[in-house]
Amino acid sequence: MKARVKSTGEIVDVKLVVKQFNEYFKETKYGDVYRRSELDFNLSAPEKTTRKWWVARDKDGDLHLYTKKPMKGVDEYFGDYMHRLPEESLPSVTFEKSPKRVRIEITLIDDEE
């Protein structure tokens, strides 16, 4: 059966496993184990979703969003780059204090807003 992992939004195939009166769900591809409370089995399209990603600031001040933890280079970070953010965003994130984990909420809005 398919389920959405609440912490990441990822859709995974799982199978129910019951062992000594405890039930859990085992992901079929990689073998990750989840409690029922960690999964959402209602896979209708959500109006709002939350993702955990990474931000890192290069030495020149550019701030970037990454889907996976980026690696630090001499003057910049490298990884699964997703988007450049305004430089004034997140002033506490510096080159020396990067990368940082962020949680981003994505919500559908009315076109008229």
Q: Work out the average pLDDT over 77-98.
A: 94
Token pair in block for residue 94: 């510096």
Model pTM? Answer: 0.57
Cα–Cα distance, 48 to 107 (Å, whole number):
4
Q: Which residues contact 13 (CB under 8 A, 6 or more apart)?
A: 1, 2, 27, 28, 29
Token pair in block for residue 87: 């430089």
pLDDT at 48: 76
| Cis peptide upstream of residue 46 (ω within 30 degrees of 0) | no
Long-range interactions of 64-67: CB distance < 8 A, separation 24+: 65/102, 65/104, 66/99
Write the pLDDT tens digit of every residue in 19-53.
777 788 998 888 889 988 899 888 876 677 888 99
pLDDT at 42: 84
- Written as one letter, the residue type at 21 is F
